[in-house]
């Protein structure tokens, strides 16, 4: 059989918002028979013209295919949409953003209704969906059998990264990475604020900032190595004591530039606390322990 004649898995997709519509288009373009449902029916009209079957209700859409993908606003909307659906024997893939606890509760709820469950945390925005090499991917966790069975179909819209049997893990990875992203944005906001009133072109400053962040990012591998081994001095490049000694200069510069230190001060405070506990020869890794205590 050539690739063109291999039968493509039929997919039911509930939810045609910005993300759901992007997902739908990639499955249609790849030749997967697709049945869609959306609470507001008008959003399905363009997809019908592109070859999707449109179900009148979520119940009907779920009845058509064994692989059911849900991409709705939030966990409450998943509960609403699937309230009357017969999930027995279905493979439910939930791509609706939620907390790890919601993902686990929904997994239990799905199991009680006789279905297998996989949760997906989407690390992409709609324009990245279906674009090879866009860098977008989806974290999956939950039933490993379900993941293996549908891996190729799930890989059509975006890359797949399976992170474990615990249905909450994909959501946890998703939130962890996005939280780190906001920390990076917070640092960048502080940096731009420092130059804001000066005769420095933000457009000239931006590439310097971006390159610096990229150069510093691999430090997370050293952090992981230290967390695994339990020795936070292992491979240390800049000791905590040295770094804490530098923080008054950062805070004074902020004051002189008329910039609030509110984004960076909490981190500096944690560094000082760890130093006070005797972590001077360590890397910055001890801050993590202060957070989880
Ligand atoms: P949209 O706001 O564009 O669409 C929301 C969808 O949820 C619509 O189909 C809407 O239906 C439906 N919906 C809302 N409430 C209910 C309900 N009570 N019952 C049934 N359907 C309901 O969101 P997106 O498509 O952008 O996002 C979908 C999921 O993907 C979210 O969980 C989001 O966090 C996640 N995601 C989105 C990203 C993005 O950049 N857009 C990035 C990563 C993840 P209706 O048309 O009737 O309003």
pLDDT of residue 151 exceeding 80, the answer is: yes
24 CA → ligand 1 middle, Å? 13
Other Cβ atoms within 10 Å of 246 Cβ, number:
11
Report pLDDT for 276.
98
Which of the four pLDDT bands, split at 50, 70 and 90, describes residue 5?
low
41 CA → ligand 1 middle, Å? 14
Residue located nearest, by CA, to atom 41 of ligand 1 = 19
pLDDT of residue 142 exceeding 90, the answer is: yes
What's the topology of domain 173-291?
1.10.1040
Which of the four pLDDT bands, split at 50, 70 and 90, describes residue 1?
very low
Statement: the pTM of the whole predicted model exceeds 0.95: no
What are the tens digits of pLDDT across the range 227-262?
999 999 999 999 999 999 999 999 999 999 999 999
Q: What is the separation of C-alpha 10 from the centre of its chain, rounded to a whole number of angstroms?
A: 26
190 CA → ligand 1 middle, Å? 32
> Is there a contact between 168 and 141 (Cβ–Cβ < 8 Å)?
yes
Which atom from ligand 1 is nearest to the alpha carbon of 21? Answer: 25
Residue located nearest, by CA, to atom 17 of ligand 1 = 77
pLDDT of residue 2 exceeding 50, the answer is: no
What's the topology of domain 3-166?
Rossmann fold (3.40.50)
Which atom from ligand 1 is nearest to the alpha carbon of 123? Answer: 43
Which of the four pLDDT bands, split at 50, 70 and 90, describes residue 282?
very high
85 CA → ligand 1 middle, Å? 19
Residue located nearest, by CA, to atom 4 of ligand 1 = 17
Which of the four pLDDT bands, split at 50, 70 and 90, describes residue 207?
very high
d(CA 15, CA 43): 9
Report pLDDT for 4.
52
pLDDT of residue 192 exceeding 80, the answer is: yes
Substitution candidate for ligand 1 out of 14, 19, 36, 52 with most atoms within 8 A of CB: 19
Establish whether residue 36 lines the binding site of ligand 1, counting it when its CB lies within 6 angstroms of any ligand atom. Answer: no
Establish whether residue 154 lines the binding site of ligand 1, counting it when its CB lies within 6 angstroms of any ligand atom. Answer: no
Strand partners, 160: 138
What are the boundaries of each domain within the chain? 3-166, 173-291
Substitution candidate for ligand 1 out of 73, 84, 128, 175 with most atoms within 8 A of CB: 73
SS3 per-residue string spanning 273-290: HHHHCCCCCCCCCHHHHH
Report pLDDT for 176.
97
pLDDT of residue 68 exceeding 80, the answer is: yes
Establish whether residue 73 lines the binding site of ligand 1, counting it when its CB lies within 6 angstroms of any ligand atom. Answer: yes
Residue located nearest, by CA, to atom 19 of ligand 1 = 77
d(CA 147, CA 150): 5
SS3 per-residue string spanning the chain: CCHHHCCCCCEEEECCCHHHHHHHHHHHHCCCCEEEECCCHHHHHHHHHCCCEECCCHHHHHHHCCEEEECCCCHHHHHHHHCCCCCCCCEEEECCCCCHHHHHHHHHHHHHCCCEEEEEEEECCHHHCCCCCCCCEEEEEECHHHHHHHHHHHCCCCEEEECCCCCHHHHHHHHHHHHHHHHHHHHHHHHHHHHCCCCCCHHHHHHHHHHHHHHHCCHHHHHHHHHHHCCCCCCCCCCHHHHHHHHHHHHHHHHHCCCCCCCCHHHHHHHHHHHHCCCCCCCCCHHHHHHHC
Which atom from ligand 1 is nearest to the alpha carbon of 74? Answer: 32
Establish whether residue 15 lines the binding site of ligand 1, counting it when its CB lies within 6 angstroms of any ligand atom. Answer: yes
d(CA 77, CA 133): 31
d(CA 293, CA 278): 17
Establish whether residue 23 lines the binding site of ligand 1, counting it when its CB lies within 6 angstroms of any ligand atom. Answer: no
Taking CA atoms, 135 is separated from 130, 140, 173, in Å, by 11, 16, 16
For residues 47-57, average pLDDT = 97
For residues 86-106, average pLDDT = 97
Q: Is 129 left (phi over 0), alpha (psi -120 to 50) or beta?
A: beta
Instruction: Kindly state the greatest CA–CA separation across the chain.
Output: 71
């Amino acid at each position: 059989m050539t690739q063109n004649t291999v039968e493509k898995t039929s997919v039911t997709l509930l939810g045609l918002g910005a993300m759901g519509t992007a997902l739908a288009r990639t499955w249609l373009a790849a030749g997967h028979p697709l049945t869609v449902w959306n609470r507001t029916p008008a959003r399905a009209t363009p997809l019908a013209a592109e070859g999707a079957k449109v179900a009148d209700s979520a119940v009907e859409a779920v009845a058509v295919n064994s692989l059911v993908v849900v991409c709705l606003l939030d966990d409450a909307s998943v509960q609403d949409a699937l309230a009357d659906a017969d999930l027995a024997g279905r493979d439910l893939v939930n791509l609706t953003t939620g907390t790890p606890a919601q993902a686990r509760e929904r997994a239990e709820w799905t199991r009680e209704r006789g279905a297998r469950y996989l949760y997906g945390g989407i690390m992409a925005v709609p324009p990245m969906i279906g674009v090879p090499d866009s860098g977008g991917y989806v974290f999956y966790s939950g039933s490993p059998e379900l993941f293996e069975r549908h891996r190729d179909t799930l890989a059509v819209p975006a890359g797949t990264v399976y992170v474990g049997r615990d249905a909450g893990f994909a959501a946890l990875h998703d939130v962890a990475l996005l939280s780190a992203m906001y920390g990076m944005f917070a640092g960048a906001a502080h940096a731009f604020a420092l130059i804001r009133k000066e005769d420095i072109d933000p457009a000239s400053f931006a590439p310097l900032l971006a390159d610096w962040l990229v150069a510093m990012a691999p430090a997370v591998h050293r952090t992981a190595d230290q967390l695994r081994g339990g020795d936070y001095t292992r491979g240390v490049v800049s000791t905590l004591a040295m770094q804490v000694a530098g923080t008054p200069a950062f805070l004074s510069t902020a004051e002189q530039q008329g910039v609030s230190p509110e984004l960076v001060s909490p981190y500096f405070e944690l560094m000082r606390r760890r130093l006070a506990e005797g972590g001077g020869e360590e890397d910055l890794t001890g801050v993590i322990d202060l957070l989880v205590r």
